[in-house]
Structure 1
Amino acid sequence: MVRRCKHRRRVAALGCGVVFAGSTFGVQALAQETEVEEVLVTGSRIAREGLDTSTPVNVISTEEIKLSGAPNVEKILSDAPQFVASTNGGASANTVPGGTADVNLRGFGPSRNLVLVNGRRFAIYGPEQVTDLNTIPTALIERTEVVTGGSSAVYGSDAITGVVNFIMRDDFEGVEATAQTSYDSPTTTPTYNIDLTIGGNFAEGRGNAVVSVNYLNRGAITRGERGEWAFDSLSDGCVTPESFSRERAGVPVSVPSGSNCRAAGGVPGLIAGGSGDIPNGRFTLSMPSTPNADLNAALAAAGLGGMTTRGFTFDDAGTMARPARTPQDDFNLGPDNYLQVPQERWMVNAFSHYDFTEKATGYLEFHFSNNRVDQQLAPTNISGPFLFDVNNPYLAPPNQDPNVLSPMQEVLRQLDMLETGPTTVTTGTSSRINNPNDGFAVLNVGRRLVEVGLRENISDRNVWRMALGMRGDLGDVSDAWLRNLAYDVYYTFARTEETSRQSGNVSRSRFASALLSSGGADPLLNIFGQNISPEAVDAIAIGATNVTEAELQVAAATLSGQLFDLPAGPLAFSFGAEWRYAASEFVPDEFLRSGDVVGFNPGLPTAGDVTAREIFGELRIPLLGGLPFVDTLAANAAFRRSDYDLKGVGEVWTYLYGLDWRLNENVALRGQFQRAIRAPNVADLYGGLRQSVEPATDPCSDRQPLAGQTETVRALCIASGVPEGAVFSGGVQSNNIIPALFGGNPNVGEEESDTRTFGVVLTPQALPKLAVTLDYFNITLDGAIAQLGGGLNNTLNLCYNVIQDIDSEFCQAINRNPVSGEISIPFYAEIRQANTGGLETSGFDLQARYGFDFGWGLFGNGSSLNINTAWTRTDEFTLTPVQALPSVKNRCVGSYGTTCGEPIPEYKGVTRFTWTSGPLSLSLRHRYIDDVTVDRYLLPKRAGATPPAYGDLVNPKLDAMNYLDMSFSFDLGRAVEIFGGMNNLLDDDPPLVGSAQIRANTWPATYDYNGRTMFIGLTVRTL
């Protein structure tokens, strides 16, 4: 936003500001008779007198940022009711790639809202072309304006759900230093934040320059440090009564959770489990035919006569095999994983402007930041079919006769004899032909490689940005037309470079080679029990270095002013052109590129660019004024024509039109329609195939609800590669996270959305300190660019439970291990991008502010109490995974889970009470998140299908959360201010979930995960 205080006259308005001073969530309103000025409000390029606008604009003040104690602004935004938490864009995102912070306006995802600084696009990162909020200088923010509705006609692509515009202090004089520290009470992990800002005028006041330096250091918190709820890897299960005396979670009975649980004497509950890939190794037989009597005898001799589909494992010494158990043998992934990722940031920002003449002001913006963020995960696992020597020496006692096979060696010999024909065993980048009776046998391996160490990823991200421009007032061409002309011409360049260094990876091909004898020597690798030697670790462990670059260039020019006078006032206009170039490249390490890696996800290179050439315009047309019940009535309209160099997009138009109707000084009405688009980004278009693991339900496993275990589904499972006898068994999918390949599609087109808003603004003159806005919103998005079917879980569901056609694109995307039927490495589901789905949301935004003055106070001169509140009621949030199947809708309001994602509460609100007496301010904030129900139950119920029995589900509802935060500020004269506070005053833990979690047994981006936190800060400034 750029402000011009030029033509002044007396009208009913708030003056040059957008909100009441010190407000938390600002309210646009008319309040009193005062001097006003022309202003540019986010959502429009036309300056206007007063704040009448058909677009709802919400404002978060710099005071709110200070009182919240948040050094990064993404936490403030995610707490606001118009936002849904961003799963992988914050301090709790222990994911790779990660280490960034973003915003998720209306729950449509971070790529569908646009982040601006002073009305211009900022730096982007990665192929997704999203702005990292870690690069926003919090110390320089004057306020944050949020447009909650499509704004592509004004700002271009990506503004589907709106715009977040950070307005910076660009006229700073003096020196200001702020130091703040915060820590959580459970672990006392500190976060330090230091800002130094220096600015001043020069050239006899014709210019100003400000420089701000920031240092932030946020400590790490592991799940093990929050042991009371985050230590274990919890999942849904069936718990026996005697297990309630256990310290943590229950022991499951030998039936799946569901309707049989209570009949077996148990109750549905959270159980401590984990991964079936364990440090001592878990092995299952890999064979194309049914075991014969000789194999059964060999298994019995080895102590495996009672083995189930879970397979077998070994003792620590690797000398004794036994059947594997669950969850007793499962590996707990939790303790070593980061719950809060550490971050260290250095940042420099500079803003300067200089008046060359009365009609020409040059301005310059500069940014540099370095962010270092670490991710840490449990040791990697390796799984899949591998070849073993039949006479593997590690399966025999040390002094055994080499001419006599041990029981386990005999098991391998029998497996070798049962093989049929030559088969290819592929491991990473290598493969080998396996024949019957060739001295080699195949076992399916599930081994947790604790000897290799934790997986660690260190991301170093450098960002440079420069903006250079010229703006000014041109005056009038004549008294009758083209008056109050103003222009703004600028060019911006931004570049982001990130280097990620990984450790804890393993080469799959090296692992396979080390399992076999070489040159008559024993195999280097002994994975039975805990016997992997340091030499073996050196042979199989690999590092990885990946580089990601992104670049954004924008050149734009705008001319605005008044065309001529109409009976009700001047016809205002804005017209301009913009050129935009965005490019990105991801260069993975050779091991990740080849797929010969286990640990962090492999992926192929990504590179590409998108260029847009645009013209745009806007009109504000006064229709009526000075009439009964029509103080003012004005229409506004805007358009943007965009020409993309993409074969799936080409030329597209966006537009808006709306009305502002001020009945009188007490009531105003507003409404607007906006057509917006999002052009595909580099990741959508050119994203190389990458491997990821996702929480999903395999309908061919025992996780398929009993009601869905039909003959039709059974036949589909068999047709897709599941052995007939394994359908609906636990052996089909041993984990509830499934590997898949994801990638781009150069033929995808643009997304289109329509936004409708209608609102009322109340500023009763009888209560001059009261301002209320109530706005209805409705946003529909068509042709949503997303993973095929809407993601892995939806693709599985569409294949087996909805479309039920083995030749459909959804079933064809599923690949299975031909022996076990499992979707496991190297047999993936392949999910590419497509204009596949739709999104729709609607509801109401309510914001209000009121103030009281008191004749008493602690420091004389009375005191005041200000109340600010902002609430959103979401009536609809509907995902249509495949718009070709419009009857398949996921209605996610009030829900959460593997399909709906982060909790989408019906009601969400923030209210702040601030009492001020002289230099002292005391503030109490209340944050509310409505209860939500797991989508596994809610979605089929809303679709008219039969959901699972509510009483048989584990923690199906997450209760409403009420957080209380307290803060204060105190001015020690004009030069020193001390501030501090305590968030989550009641030390509420997040709600716990099992199989429906995103990570850490909860949804840590939505709910406070670090308990009670305290912060204290000091600001010193020159007078």
Structure 2
Amino acid sequence: MSVNKSKHYLRHMIHACVSGSLLVPMAAFAQQDDTPAVEEVVVTGSFIRNSAFAQNNPVDTVTQSDILESGAASMGNYIRDLPYTQNTNTVANVNAGNSGSQSSVGTTFNLRGLGENSTLTLMDGTRSVDAGINTLLPEIAIDRLEVVLDGGSALYGSDAVAGVVNLIPVKDFDGFRVRLYHQFDEPQDFEDNKIGVMFGRNFSNGINYVFAADYARTTPLMMYERPRTLRAAYGWANSGNPGVWRELDGATANPGKVHGGDLVGGNLVDPSCGTFNEVTDFGAANNNPSGIPRPGNNCFFNYNAQWPLAEGKTEYNIFQNMTFDVSDRVQLEAQMSLANRESENHNTLSYQLNANNREGLVVPESHPANPFGMDVGPWTWRPFAAAGTLPSYTDLKTGARKQTYDDTIQRYKVGARFDLTNSWTANSSYSWQRTHRDYTARMINMPNIAAALIGQGGPNGNEWFNPFGSADVRSPFYDAATTANSQALIDWIAPTVPFRTSQRELTVFEVNATGDLYELPAGMAQMAIGYQMRDIDEWDYANPLSAAGLDYNTSIIDTPPTSRNYGSRVQAAYLEFEVPLLDTLDAQIAVRHENFTTYDLQTTTPKIALRWEALPELAIRASVGESFLAPTPADARPFDPNENCGEIFFGSDPITGGVLNGGATCSSGNPKLSPETSDIWNVGFTWEPLDDLTLSMDYQSIEYTDRIRTLGTLDIVAIEFEEMLAAIGSTPEAYDPTPGSATRQAANAWVAAGGLSNVTRDSSDNQRVSRVVSQAQNVSTVWVDLFDARATYTMDTNNWGSFTTSLNATYNTKYEYADGGEVVDALGKQNGRTGIVAPVPKIKGQARLSWIRDKHSASASWNYQHHVEFDDNVNNALTGTPPPEDGRIRSQGIVNAQYTYLMDQYFDSEITLSAGISNVFDELPQRLPILGGFESRLHSPWGRQFWLSVDWRPGF
């Protein structure tokens, strides 16, 4: 290990020296050349300076004023409303992981809804080790965002399948600035607070220094704080405490090991089930603490109130940038940014039934609290729910388990720009970045709980753990002498385990040059040439309790997980030409070759574009190109079925006709992955018929093949079902899951012969799912056709000020995907039963009216999403919430408004006061009988919010 580390840091030093060696001679050369410097305008979308293509490609620019005028509490909430993004991670939803994470933290761009990993995110033109928008820069230091919407692998390499986002910081600032922001919802259940500072100085010796920092705190919003939605949500499990048991035959208690017995007979419901439910309203916190009796001898647990709609989080960001003009021709740059985000993760107090419960836990007949008079084992049960003595780390308001994730991101970059001649400029940069996550896990020690069930628990090894509802003082069966659990015993069973879960390092070295190539009859041909090296190292650390075989959620049968390290090196070379064919017609040709030495994979991606200035006011553009996305080292890691295991909360099993609740869900690597590829062609125009009117439209077609997606539990079980039907020669309509039917017997035989390797089932006749292992896979092809339209008009009046109206909209005309050979139309649908695509409204748009007069300004915006067809599983067994009568999740239009007043002569300072309302008409999400109670990938549960902002610039 020490040798590898030495090589690792030696490599960094070599790269730094190479960067420096490039700077010194070129700086000297530049100082000898007295030709005046050339003004440079660089826009994302081309390496050629002053490129007409970069400025007229389908590139959207978002300025800091755009963000401020929106009133969005964060970049994540702002980009969620952009017409070309889908399924942006801003709302937490329990287990709703289809088409991307929904944790409400670490928001990234998801262009066209093609997946967060399909958009390449740059920070100041350099790849980022972490694509989370809120941790790239302090918001006060954001100059603008530039979004390339037609793919960019020919210029920027892997990951730019759907497009490229470049976050450009403020680098030239002289003065001091402070900004305060406060936002709260109308019921005052949660709030966002932020303070940012920026300082800059232009020194006479050619040095410009910018420092910026911000602090942001978002309080959590729990589901019980939105009772209207919570009452509709499917958030129940058939495993709880009180739970359901079965007789255990032939078992020998062996803490931490399998007991060797069999669960026999029917369900035995804990006698305390449903006996002390003072609060039964599903919209309230801590409702139904003793469970909900259900037909078939079941006792359901409603876990909804223990989950958040938005995680609480605290974020710190620091950014520094220094440029030094060595001469008129040489500029050196050093950049540093640090970010830290602490997220509060809420979930159920303990995971429910898994293989360990049934194969490792024994409650003997002699247990003093055993109500059944026989040896029993858990059937559908969890150690802790909402009854009895709970672990000390329990959140008393909700009964939830609150764990913290601490993400730290470091970025360092040095570079130089130098004018080689009057027309050639070169750039070189070297960056090193690292991100790591530290986790405070609230866990359950498997041998400890097994020992406590046989009277060998606690610090002194002589206490009984009562797993029944009689442990709660409210139970009619409570007896302080025989059924109570001591706090010391519970905390011995349920420890807190802090550890580092992951670490990732990225090193990027890049050098390029751009300038005039030769004079053609129609003008000067230009060229850019460059080289890039990227090194990625990833560490995935095993939970210490799991690695020791002590974790309740890690199978006691399989090999314990181990810490792993993965790496990848990429070397790339690229060329770009801009060639004037006629006085009004230019061509852009770009090609990039990337060599992934780790995977023995090489790709070459081209792009060709034309720009025709048909009229002085009208530019027409067309492009065709390819993009690709290579598998990450983590996705391509070796397969281990016992990694990252948790709980299956929901879903039905098509083979048995039962539920998936109670099984374990794990995720592992897939070394057989191939890269994703896409073909994108675009045609569009920009027209300025009037001085203050700009119209733009693009038609784009995307074919996206071999998409890498980590399928959800439901997708994997559905694949298993399809393979089983094909093997036994049946169809979904003809298949009968009833035990004893001909098709069910054939299915049992297929499962017993091996079935699908990613799904493990009980060996008994019931064939219940005990584990599902998800992997990143090349699962599908997606076809997308769409129109992007933009219009901006400014009207100046003599007395009423200046008015600007803008409209941005995306109209999808085609969104299809191939799944198992079948082409599925996903356009205008919720796509609730697949992890391949997100909900895709046909129309998503944003209209804005802005006004400015002297020191006053105001704006109002309307963010619209078209309706989609509801196609999710209906789960209303407890709530009775019906699906939409018309089969649609309705369209939604959210209106935001803000007003700003500028005090520019206030004690030699400039003070900007802003106030606004988000969601003016308090539009609430449509209630649906699904997870979370609404479609969180489309709608937000915040309701009406108010915000205030103060921006102060002393001496300005």
Work out the CA distance in 1 between the residues paired with 2:410 and 2:933. Answer: 38
Cα deviation 1:670-720 (Å, max 9, x = unaligned): 1111111111112211276222445764343xxxxxxxxxxxxxxxx4xxx
Instruction: Tell me, in whole angstroms, the C-alpha distance in 2 between the residues paired with 1:544 and 1:390.
Output: 30
Q: 2:404 aligns with which of 433, 458, 461?
A: 458
Q: Does 1:362 align with 2:332?
A: yes
Whether 1:847 aligns to 2:790 is: yes
The residue identity in structure 2 corresponding to 1:461 is D
Check the 8 A contact 1:286/1:444 in 2, yes or no: no
Aligned residue number for residue 817 of structure 1: 762
Aligned residue for 1:525?
465
- Residue 366 (structure 2) aligns with: 392
Contact 1:892 1:935 in 2 (8 A): no
Residue aligned with 1:904, SS: coil
Over 3 Å counting, the alpha-carbon distance change for 1:842 and 1:224 in structure 2 is same
CA, structure 1 residues 227+951, in 2 after alignment: closer, same or farther (shift >3 Å)?
Answer: closer
Per-residue CA deviations over 1:105-134 (Å, capped at 9, x if unaligned) read: 11111111111122222332xxxxx44533
Distance 1:165 1:323 in 2: 51
Secondary structure of 2:714's aligned partner = helix
Deviations 1:513-555 (A, max 9, x none): 3222559998711112241432431332122223121111111
For 1:344 and 1:976, the matched residues in 2 are separated by 27
Correspondence for 1:742 among 624, 644, 667: 667
1:793 aligns with 2:714: yes
Q: What pairs with 1:851-862 in structure 2 (closer than 5 Å)?
A: 851-857=794-800
Instruction: Confirm or deny that 1:541 pairs with 2:494.
Output: yes
**Shift of residue 150, structure 1, vs aligned partner:** 1.4
Aligned to 2:5: none
The answer to whether the Cα contact below 8 Å between 2:240 and 2:352 also exists between their aligned partners in 1 is no
2:936 counterpart (981, 991, 1004) = 1004
Q: How does 1:434-445 map to 2 (within 5 A)?
A: 440-445=375-380
CA contact under 8 A between 2:405 and 2:437: conserved in structure 1? Answer: yes
1:152-163 → structure 2 map (5 Å cutoff): 152-163=153-164
Q: CA deviation at 1:329?
A: 4.5
How much has 1:489 moved relative to structure 2? Answer: 0.6
User: Would you say 1:635 and 2:587 are equivalent positions?
Assistant: yes
TM-aligned CA deviation for residue 174 of structure 1: 0.6
Q: CA deviation at 1:930?
A: 1.0
In the TM superposition, what is the alpha-carbon distance from 1:1013 to its structure 2 partner?
A: 0.8
| Counterpart residue number, 2:67 | 65
Tell me the CA shift for residue 835 of structure 1: 2.6
Answering whether residue 451 of structure 2 is matched by residue 500 of structure 1, we say no
Distance 1:368 1:387, change over 3 A: closer
- For residues 766 and 618 of structure 2, the distance between their equivalents in structure 1, rounded to whole angstroms, comes to 65
CA distance in 1, matches of 2:834, 2:270: 34
Cα distance 1:590–1:88, how it changes in 2: closer, same or farther (>3 A)? Answer: farther
- Report the CA distance shift for 1:919/1:763 in structure 2 as closer, same or farther (over 3 A): same
- Matched-pair contact (CA < 8 Å) for 1:387–1:516: no
RMSD: 3.3
Give the CA deviation at 1:793: 1.7
Task: Give 2:108's aligned residue.
Answer: 102
Partners in 1 of 2:69 and 2:127 — Cα distance?
27
Distance, in Å, in 1 between the alignment partners of 2:904 and 2:325 is 34
| Alignment partner of 1:804 is 2:726 | yes
Alignment of 1:383-422 (within 5 A): 383=353, 384-385=357-358, 387-388=361-362, 390-394=364-368, 408-409=372-373, 412=374
Q: Tell me: CA distance 1:216–1:521, structure 2 relative to 1, closer, same or farther (3 Å).
A: closer
Q: Per the alignment, in what secondary structure is the counterpart of residue 486 of structure 1?
A: strand
In structure 2, the residue corresponding to 1:800 is in which secondary structure? Answer: helix
Q: How far apart are residue 61 of structure 1 and its match?
A: 1.7
Counterparts of 2:666 and 2:431, CA distance in 1: 36
Mapped partners of 2:901, 2:706: distance in 1? 52
Give, in whole Å, the separation in 1 of the partners of 2:119 and 2:779.
20
Pair 195,838 (structure 1): closer, same or farther in 2 beyond 3 Å: same
**Given residue 692 of structure 2, which amino acid in structure 1 is its aligned partner?**
K
Q: CA offsets per residue over residues 285-304 of structure 1, 9 Å max, x none?
A: 5679xxxxxxxxxxxxxxxx
Question: Match for residue 22 of structure 2?
Answer: none
Q: Distance in 1 between matches of 2:95 and 2:172?
A: 36
8 Å Cα contact 1:895-1:904 kept in structure 2: yes
Give the alignment partner of residue 811 of structure 2, picking from 873, 883, 890: 873
The worse-fitting range, judged by mean Cα deviation, of 890-899 and 538-547 is: 890-899
Q: Report the equivalent of 1:39.
A: 41
1:672 lines up with 2:623 in the alignment: yes
Please tell me the residue identity of whatever aligns with 1:831: S
- More displaced stretch, 891-900 vs 141-150: 891-900
Question: Does residue 896 in structure 1 map to residue 835 in structure 2?
Answer: no
Given that 2:709 and 2:778 are in contact with CA atoms closer than 8 Å, whether structure 1 keeps it comes out as yes
Cα drift, residue 200 of structure 1 = 1.1
- C-alpha separation between the residues in 1 aligned to 2:808 and 2:291? 60
C-alpha deviations, 1:762-820, integer Å up to 9, x for none? 211xx221111111112222222233xx4332222232246532489973322122347
**Amino acid of the residue matched to residue 680 of structure 2?**
T
Aligned residues of 2:676 and 2:708 also touching (Cα < 8 A): yes
Q: 1:782: which partner in 2?
A: 705
Confirm or deny: 8 A CA contact 1:178 1:195 kept in the other structure.
yes
Determine the C-alpha separation between the residues in 2 that align with 1:375 and 1:535. Answer: 25
Q: Does 1:835 align with 2:793?
A: no
Aligned partners of 2:324, 2:292: CA distance in 1, in Å?
78
SS of match in other structure, 1:139: helix
Paired letter, 1:512: A
Residues 638, 657 of structure 1: 8 Å contact kept: yes
Using a 3 Å threshold, how does the CA distance of structure 1 residues 967 and 896 change in structure 2: closer, same or farther? farther
User: Hey, what's the Cα distance between the residues in 2 that align with 1:734 and 1:679?
Assistant: 33
- Work out which of the residue numbers 883, 890, 901 in structure 2 matches 1:959: 890
Give the deviation of 1:592 after TM superposition. Answer: 3.4
TM-score, structure 1 as length reference: 0.74
Q: Which runs of 5+ in 1 are unaligned?
A: 1-35, 125-129, 236-272, 289-306, 397-405, 413-439, 477-483, 626-631, 701-716, 718-726, 858-862, 939-949
Cα distance in 2 between the residues matched to 1:697 and 1:758: 43
Once the two structures are superposed, residues 861-888 of structure 1 have per-residue CA deviations (whole angstroms, 9 ceiling, x without a partner) of xx1110111100122223334xxx4225
Matches of 1:116 and 1:90 in 2, distance apart?
A: 25
Describe the SS at the equivalent of 2:326: strand
Residue number in structure 1 paired with 2:9: none
Aligned match of 1:472: 418
| 1:363-395 alpha-carbon deviations (Å, 9 max, x no partner) | 111101221111112311432425545523435
Matched, 1:769 2:685: no
Shift of 1:910: 0.8
2:46–2:54 contact (8 Å) kept in structure 1:
no
- The residue type paired with residue 792 of structure 1 is T
Q: What is the aligned partner in structure 1 of residue 147 from structure 2? A: 146
1:199 and 1:820, CA in 2 relative to 1: closer, same or farther beyond 3 A?
A: farther
Q: Which moved more, 1:275-284 or 1:918-927?
A: 275-284
> 1:339 and 2:309 equivalent?
yes
3-state SS in 1 of match to 2:414: strand
Greater CA deviation, 960-969 or 531-540?
531-540
Distance in 1 separating the partners of 2:714 and 2:547: 25
> Which of 312, 325, 334 is the matching residue for 2:294?
325
- Structure 2: how far apart are the matches of 1:322 and 1:92? 20
The Cα of 1:640 is off from its aligned counterpart by: 0.8
Deviation at residue 600 of structure 1 after TM alignment: 10
Residues 282, 447 of structure 1: 8 Å contact kept: no
Distance 1:182 1:442, change over 3 A: closer
- Aligned residue for 1:42, secondary structure, equals coil
Distance in 2 separating the partners of 1:209 and 1:1017: 26
Aligned to 1:420: none
Fraction of identical pairs, as percent: 21
Q: TM-score, normalised by structure 2?
A: 0.79
Give the match's secondary structure for 2:707.
strand
